[in-house]
Amino acid sequence: MAAFADVTADDVLTNMMAPARAFGFDVTAEPVREGDSLRVESMVMTYALPMDAGVARLSSNGFTLTEQGDGSVALAYPDGMTAEITFTMPDEGEVMSASLTYEGFDTPTIATGEPGQVTYEGAFEDARFALTEFTVPDEGVLDVSVEGTLTGTSRYVITEGDIVKVAMSTTSDSMTFDTKFSDPEGAVSSGTQKMTGGTSEVEMAIPAGQVDLLNLDDALRAGLMLVAKTGGMQVDGTTVTTVEDMEMRQTTAYTMESNDIALGEDGLSMSGVYTDFAFEFLMPPDLPFPIAGQIGRSEGRIVAPVTETDGAVPVELRMTLEEVSLDEAIWALFDPQEQLPRDPMTVVLDLSGEAALSRDPLDIMRMMQVSPTEETLGRIENVELNELVVRAVGAEVTGSGAFEIDNEDFETFPGVPAPSGSVDLRVSGANGLIDTLVAMGLVPEEQAMGTRMMLGMFGTPGEGEDVITSTIEVTEDGQVLANGQRLR
């Protein structure tokens, strides 16, 4: 058996409450010692919102901590655990309340480690939770229900100190959510979402007593940090909405390959990759057939600063939709003769560059005091178009380029900082697409002629059939050139 430093039930209770207290919650518990066990009758967490905006309160009917005699402590929740969330405002009293129940979470979680640093390991088998009541005083009890089941394992470590650290990893065999909502006009919406497989890893650091929701930038500089990574999850969902006698149905399915977020003093980064996305919308009688399609792969990424910077820092933006296909019923609406190619569509936009922030964007009070005449929040120093791809209906546009931004020059291009640089573009299949659209009657010949003239003005013939290339350049003195010919 592995050796553990002893932790007592009291050590574990203090450790469990550390993250919430560090964040600014007032946490109260009523522990009762019964031999080797510490029974917590109830736990209440309250959080006073800034500017006397209100108070959020979470209460539950407690848990039991039992010392195992080997240096570990078993954490057990009662089967049928309940929790209540309320929100009150100074002049209005209680403005929202919600009641929740939990079943199947009674399998003990084992806590090991040492005082100040405790590791928790647990497993759940068909554990269930439900929103049993949601009340807004002015509206009464709303017809809302949320139920879910969970099977999986979890492991997390809480380290106490001036900066409280939480490291958590979970493995999910399956999760299911069932929701239902009815509005006063009679519309009823119900949905089921099932998630199979998947892992999550979360790291968080909370500077104790230094988290101000109105100025998160100071908290970030004090050590506030969040890193979360999720992936390997299959998601299937169905939503049905009924309005009077009309039923609308939506189904989706996709694989979440990865979904990551990182927030800290050095900035914010978010990225996600999803594959094999399939969707179908059924909306009779407006549409007599389903709207259906598939997306082979989608990707998004953003990197940006969130605190005032000392000079320019890297920024990124990437969005992709690959292998997008639509159901034949949609194509048949405007192309019943199948004149347009049905090849899957792709869109890629990949930008990077450098930017600077002259103020803290998350200092809300400071931002509210900014006057229209003050310096802008930030500036972009340069932009690089790493990749541009638009591929659909037999045509394709690709491009790349880079521009420097002169943030002192607002005269060359009135009202905006002056750019200088160039972008290279390649267009293939454009004339063939125009001919097809004219033959289908979707584009008048006069309009098509104008488009062809514009392509000839901005482009030159490239290698291959129906290929046009173009280099668009903006010089430092404000000239705009297309393939060396001056446009401005």
3 state SS for the chain: CCCCCCCCHHHHHHHHHHHHHHHCCEEEEEEEEECCEEEEEEEEEEEECHHHCCEEEEEECCEEEEECCCCCEEEECCCCEEEEEEEEECCCEEEEEEEEEEECCCCCEEEEEECCEEEEEEEEEEEEEEEEEEEECCCEEECEEEEEEEEEEEEEEEECCCEEEEEEEEEEEEEEEEEEEECCCCCEEEEEEEEECCEEEEEEEEECCCCCCCEHHHHHHCCCEEEEEEEEEEEEEEEEEEECCEEEEEEEEEEEEEEEEEEECCEEEEEEEEEEEEEEEECCCCCCCCEEEEEEEEEEEEEECCCCCCCCEEEEEEEEEEEEEECHHHHHHHCCCCCCCCCCEEEEEEEEEEEEECCCCCEHHHHHCCCCCCCCCEEEEEEEEEEEEEEECCEEEEEEEEEEEECCCCCCCCCCCEEEEEEEEEEECHHHHHHHHHHHCCCCHHHHHHHHHHHHHHCEECCCCCEEEEEEEECCCCCEEECCEECC
Of the pLDDT bands very low, low, confident and very high (cuts 50, 70, 90), residue 373 is: low
Longest pairwise C-alpha distance within the chain:
91
Q: Tens digits of per-residue pLDDT, 60-75?
A: 988 999 999 999 999 9
Q: Tens digits of per-residue pLDDT, 343-368?
A: 999 999 999 999 999 999 999 888 88
Q: Tens digits of per-residue pLDDT, 250-287?
A: 999 999 999 999 999 999 999 999 999 999 999 887 77
The yes-or-no verdict on residue 469 having pLDDT over 80 is yes
Mean pLDDT of all residues belonging to the chain: 92
Q: What is the pLDDT of residue 2?
A: 42
Tokens for 206?
């909370």
Place of tokens 């292998």: 323
The model's pTM: 0.89
Whole-number Å distance between alpha carbons of 147 and 179: 6
The yes-or-no verdict on residue 372 having pLDDT over 70 is no
Q: What percent of the chain has pLDDT over 70?
A: 98
Whole-number Å distance between alpha carbons of 17 and 191: 35
Whole-number Å distance between alpha carbons of 415 and 69: 73
Whole-number Å distance between alpha carbons of 193 and 236: 6
Q: What is the pLDDT of residue 374?
A: 64
Whole-number Å distance between alpha carbons of 59 and 97: 11
Of the pLDDT bands very low, low, confident and very high (cuts 50, 70, 90), residue 459 is: confident
Whole-number Å distance between alpha carbons of 160 and 182: 45
Q: Is 315 exposed, middle or buried (0-12, 13-18, 19+ CB in 10 A)?
A: buried
Whole-number Å distance between alpha carbons of 39 and 484: 80
The yes-or-no verdict on residue 424 having pLDDT over 90 is yes
The yes-or-no verdict on residue 142 having pLDDT over 60 is yes
Burial 204-232 (b: 16+ CB within 10 A, else e): bbbbbebbbeebbbbbbebbbbbbbbbbe
Place of tokens 């899957």: 344
